[in-house]
């Protein structure tokens, strides 16, 4: 839905009040999405799916009334152009549409030299973040809290492998997906004083699944982790087995 909305603007030459930002993960019109959610124009239901849960989005009665009234005020040529774009892509699957937009319009990390510098910067930051977490370990109250903090550092060990492997890829979307997730991980850790929280766990889980699917790195559950010490390796695998992902994320779902 988000990609189709973008193509209406881009290929249909429809002028939106606020242009959709073409950021490295691909264009998503969060401005409109947030407006619709906050004003009760759409309803989002989280449903179970494979490999990820997904949002089913539909208009509410209030939304139907709002957009019916709004349609009468639209520029007619632009409305016709929008309908042509919808007709062109209406039989295209969501996955195919996403891949088409990413391949043709996402260019945030096509500059591999710049991407390489960002990867190196994140690699240099991992030990710094691990050190901040280790300070919390030394002040932890109880064994459970200490184990959770140690697990975070062990997840970051796996992140080092992912970043190292990412340097050999030239796909700007894959690079963007990983680097923006890493940025989110660092930001979430910083906001929470470098302690454990459900959103960080969810991000690590997403990262692990995405990198395994795109063959960037083995899943942490199947990686032999040969470069990690035995005791750390055992704690890491145990942490993965016990990890719980909340039903509802505190952040918007990927589109």
pLDDT grade for 22, boundaries at 50, 70 and 90:
low
Whether 170 and 90 map to the same domain: the answer is no
DSSP string, 100-142: HHHHHH--TT--HHHHHHHHHHHHHHHHHHHHHHHHHHHT-SS
Overall number of domains in the chain: 2
Task: Give percent of the chain above pLDDT 90.
Answer: 24
The beta strands (E) that lie in the chain are given as: 42-47, 54-59
Q: How confident is the model at residue 68 (pLDDT cuts 50, 70, 90)?
A: confident
The 10s digit of each residue's pLDDT in 197-245 is: 888 888 888 888 889 988 999 988 765 555 555 565 555 555 555 544 3
Instruction: Give the whole-angstrom CA distance, residue 71 versus residue 246.
Output: 38
* Most trustworthy range by pLDDT among 27-41, 158-172, 198-212: 158-172
pLDDT for residue 255 is more than 80: no
Do 84 and 121 belong together in one domain? Answer: no
Phi, psi for residue 196 in degrees, rounded to 5 = -75, 145
Residues in a beta bridge with 57: 44
Tell me, yes or no, whether 248 lies in a domain.
no
- Per-residue pLDDT at 64 exceeds 90: yes
Instruction: Give the max Cα distance, the chain.
Output: 67
Place of tokens 């989110």: 184
Q: What angle do CA 215, 219, 222 make, to 5 degrees?
A: 115
Same domain, 101 and 117: no
Percent of the chain with pLDDT over 70: 83
Name the residue with tokens 């002028």: 15
Q: Is 82 helix (H, G, I), strand (E, B) or coil?
A: helix
Which two tokens mark 219?
């899943």
Task: Please check whether residue 249 lies inside any domain of the structure.
Answer: no
Structural domain containing residue 71:
2-105
**Boundary (domain end) residue, out of 105, 127, 142:** 105
Clarify whether residues 92 and 173 are in a common domain.
no
Is the distance from CB of 27 to CB of 97 less than 8 angstroms?
no
User: 19 near 97, Cβ under 8 Å?
Assistant: no
Does residue 210 sit within a domain?
yes
DSSP-assigned letter for residue 46: E
- What are the backbone dihedrals phi and psi of residue 148, each rounded to the nearest 5 degrees, phi first? -65, -45
pLDDT mean over 5-29: 81
- The secondary element (H helix, E strand) that includes residue 58 is strand 54-59
């Amino acid at each position: 839905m988000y990609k189709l909305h973008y193509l209406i603007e881009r290929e249909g030459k429809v002028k939106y009040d606020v242009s959709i930002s073409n950021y490295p993960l691909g264009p998503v019109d969060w401005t409109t999405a947030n407006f619709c959610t906050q004003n009760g124009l759409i309803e989002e239901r989280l449903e179970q799916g494979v490999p990820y849960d997904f949002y089913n989005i539909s208009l509410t009665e209030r939304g139907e009334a709002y957009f019916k009234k709004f349609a009468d005020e639209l520029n007619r040529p632009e409305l016709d152009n929008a309908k042509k774009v919808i007709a062109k892509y209406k039989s295209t699957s969501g996955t195919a549409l996403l891949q088409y937009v990413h391949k043709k319009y996402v260019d945030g990390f096509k500059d591999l030299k710049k991407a390489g510098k960002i990867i190196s910067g994140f690699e240099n930051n991992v030990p710094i973040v691990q050190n901040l977490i280790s300070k919390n370990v030394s002040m932890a109250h109880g064994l459970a809290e200490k184990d959770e903090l140690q697990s975070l550092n062990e997840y970051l060990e796996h992140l080092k492998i992912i970043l190292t492997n990412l340097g050999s890829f030239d796909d700007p979307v894959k690079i963007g997906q990983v680097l923006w997730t890493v940025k989110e991980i660092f930001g979430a850790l910083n906001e929470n004083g470098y302690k454990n929280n459900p959103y960080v766990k969810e991000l690590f889980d997403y990262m692990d699944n995405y990198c395994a699917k795109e063959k960037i790195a083995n899943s942490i559950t199947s990686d032999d982790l040969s470069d990690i010490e035995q005791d750390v390796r055992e704690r890491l695998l145990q942490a993965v087995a016990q990890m719980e992902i909340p039903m509802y994320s505190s952040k918007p779902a990927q589109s």
